[in-house]
């Protein structure tokens, strides 16, 4: 991108932008929740629509001058509905967490119960972790894996707990779970206890849109919550999708605005519209399928080096590895080390981790961003080899310098693309 005006007006901010451009260009991004967007998305996200207040919804705004904001938001809505095969879409949430919380407020009263995946077994903070304020308002119960080595959810226990607690909402979704959920089981349990069944697809929205992963709506889910970045490769933001219930969709719309948020970020919604258009292109299906192939290739390298993988492998875009138990390096130290040599990922707790959240046993890494750069299985496997090599030789500065140089060379071969269509 051209930052000439920023460079002239604010050299300090320009230095940070220039530094980030260089960091992204010369290193591999392995954080599963991060990706690169196209130049078209960046231009829309930095457009003149940043000037416009548009409180309300298309055709029902509180201010005038909405001809073009309405056009952009309608485009985003219609494209989202087509991508995910649903009747209603709210594209206004500023991020994933606000989308989740607004939905809770729309569907539940204080004191009502929601069942979600335990954070230590792959769930998300907004699904009921005690550190979040939302747990002071609603009652959260959790389900876990029955077998950490395979990733199988204990659906029998889940049904037992649901019958005993009668949750108003059952949430299927995760932030660090490498397998595909049994959506039919969630719906079966939800129907038996009279719960609304929601899927948080923030991590796998792009895989679903690209037909590389199952769509929970096909199994009867009522609502899907998602971010619009990650595998979907759009700007950072949130979205709420309703399969067919107009009643639920109206409750959600009313809670997003005016219940929970103020005016929508229209330049961001323009970026969403562009990204959803890109996801309708045939190339996106190829990309989504390749994400999974690349993640599997990386997992196989770790397994070949006898590094324990939570759930034994992956069915999606991410891998969760117990590096402390396998290599004697903590997740925090691994994150710092690998960042030094140009491979960015995140420390992560593993199931029933004996270590603390800020210095856990595991690392979480994935393939969305490297796949966007054009990496195939061969390059993905090589990155995994370099990760293992660095962790095994963490004190060998000469070895680490060589790894850093190889990463730079690989990145030059696969520059970040500006267009995906």
pLDDT at 129: 78
pLDDT of residue 175: 85
| Residue 125 pLDDT class (50, 70, 90 cuts) | confident
Q: Are residues 124 and 178 in the same domain?
A: yes
Residues 275 and 295 in one domain: no
Catalytic residue among 113, 126, 226, 227: 227
User: Is 130 a residue whose pLDDT tops 90?
Assistant: no
Output the CA torsion sign for 261, 267, 273, 279.
Answer: negative
Q: Give the pLDDT of residue 45.
A: 97
- Whether 355 is catalytic: no
Instruction: Give a yes or no: residue 91 inside a domain.
Output: yes
Q: What confidence score (pLDDT) does residue 53 get?
A: 97
- 55 tagged catalytic: yes
Q: What is the CATH number of the domain that holds 359?
A: 3.90.1150.10
Question: Does any domain span residue 397?
Answer: yes
Same domain flag for 314 and 275: no
**Domain presence at residue 1:** no
Structural contact between residues 345 and 363, judged by C-beta atoms closer than 8 angstroms? yes
Express each pLDDT in 219-269 by its tens digit.
999 999 999 999 999 999 999 999 999 999 999 999 999 999 999 999 999
The total domain count for the chain is: 2
pLDDT tens digits for 292-328?
999 999 999 999 999 999 999 999 999 999 999 999 9
Same structural domain for residues 217 and 330? no
pLDDT one-digit tens code per residue, 50-102: 999 999 999 999 999 999 999 999 999 999 999 999 999 999 999 999 999 99
Question: For a pLDDT cut of 70, what percent of the chain falls above it?
Answer: 100
Query: 23 in a domain, yes or no?
Result: no
Q: Which of 7, 34, 42, 53 is catalytic?
A: 53
Examine the pLDDT at 121 and tell me if it is beyond 90: no
- Our answer to whether residue 336 is catalytic in this structure is no
Domain, as residue range, for 390: 290-413
**pLDDT number for residue 60:** 97
Region class of 65: left (phi > 0), else alpha (psi between -120 and 50), else beta: left
133 and 275 inside one domain:
yes
Q: Is residue 106 assigned to a domain?
A: yes
Same domain for 179 and 304, yes or no, is no
Mean pLDDT of the chain, nearest integer: 96
Tens digit of each residue's pLDDT (9 = 90 or more) over 192-228: 999 999 999 999 999 999 999 999 999 999 999 999 9
Q: Please indicate, yes or no, whether residues 253 and 141 belong to a single structural domain of this protein.
A: yes
> Does 205 lie in the same domain as 294?
no
The mean pLDDT value for 341-360 works out to 95
Active site residue 3: no
4 is catalytic: no
Task: Provide the whole-model pTM.
Answer: 0.96
Length of the chain counted residue by residue = 421
Nearest of 258, 223, 222 to residue 240 by alpha carbon = 223
| 319 in the same domain as 210 | no
Question: Do 223 and 342 belong to one domain?
Answer: no
DSSP 173-225: E-SS--S---HHHHHHHHHHHT-EEEEE-TTTHHHHHTTSS--GGGGT-SEEE
Residue 408 lies in a domain: yes
């Amino acid at each position: 991108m051209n930052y000439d005006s920023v460079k002239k007006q604010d050299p300090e901010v320009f230095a940070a932008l220039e530094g980030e451009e260089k960091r992204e260009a010369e290193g591999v991004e392995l954080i599963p929740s991060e990706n690169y967007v196209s130049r078209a998305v960046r231009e829309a996200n930095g457009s003149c629509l940043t000037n416009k207040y548009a409180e309300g919804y298309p055709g029902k705004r509180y201010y005038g001058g909405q001809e073009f904001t309405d056009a952009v938001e309608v485009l985003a809505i219609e494209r989202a509905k087509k991508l995910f095969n649903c009747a209603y879409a709210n594209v206004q949430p500023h991020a994933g967490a606000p989308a989740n919380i607004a939905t809770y407020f729309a569907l539940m009263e204080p004191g009502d119960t929601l069942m979600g995946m335990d954070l230590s077994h792959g769930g998300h903070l907004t699904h009921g972790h005690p550190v979040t304020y939302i747990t002071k308002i609603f009652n959260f119960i959790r389900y876990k894996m029955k077998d950490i080595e395979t990733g199988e959810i204990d659906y029998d226990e889940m049904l037992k707990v649901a019958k005993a607690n009668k949750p108003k909402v059952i949430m299927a979704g995760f932030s660090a779970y490498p397998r595909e959920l049994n959506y039919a089981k969630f719906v079966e349990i939800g129907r038996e206890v009279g719960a609304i069944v929601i899927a948080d697809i923030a991590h796998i929205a792009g895989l679903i849109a690209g037909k590389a992963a199952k769509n929970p709506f096909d199994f009867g889910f009522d609502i899907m919550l998602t971010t619009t970045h990650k595998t979907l490769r759009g700007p950072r933001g949130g979205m709420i999708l309703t399969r067919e219930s107009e009643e639920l969709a109206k409750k959600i719309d009313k809670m997003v605005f005016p219940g929970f948020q103020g005016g929508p970020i229209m330049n961001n919604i323009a970026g969403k519209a562009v990204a959803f258009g890109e996801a309708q292109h045939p190339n996106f299906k190829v990309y989504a399928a390749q994400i999974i192939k690349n993640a599997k290739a990386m997992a196989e390298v770790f397994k070949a080096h006898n590094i324990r993988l939570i759930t034994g492998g992956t069915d999606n875009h991410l891998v969760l590895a117990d590096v402390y138990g396998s290599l004697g390096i903590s997740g925090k130290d691994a994150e710092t080390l690998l960042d030094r040599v140009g491979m960015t990922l995140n420390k992560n707790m593993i199931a029933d981790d004996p270590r603390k959240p800020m210095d856990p046993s595991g690392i979480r890494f994935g393939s969305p961003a490297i796949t966007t750069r054009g990496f195939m299985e061969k390059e993905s496997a090589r990155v995994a080899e370099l990760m293992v090599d660095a962790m095994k030789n963490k004190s060998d500065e000469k070895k680490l310098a060589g790894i850093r140089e190889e990463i730079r060379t690989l990145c030059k071969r696969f520059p970040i693309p500006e267009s995906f269509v």
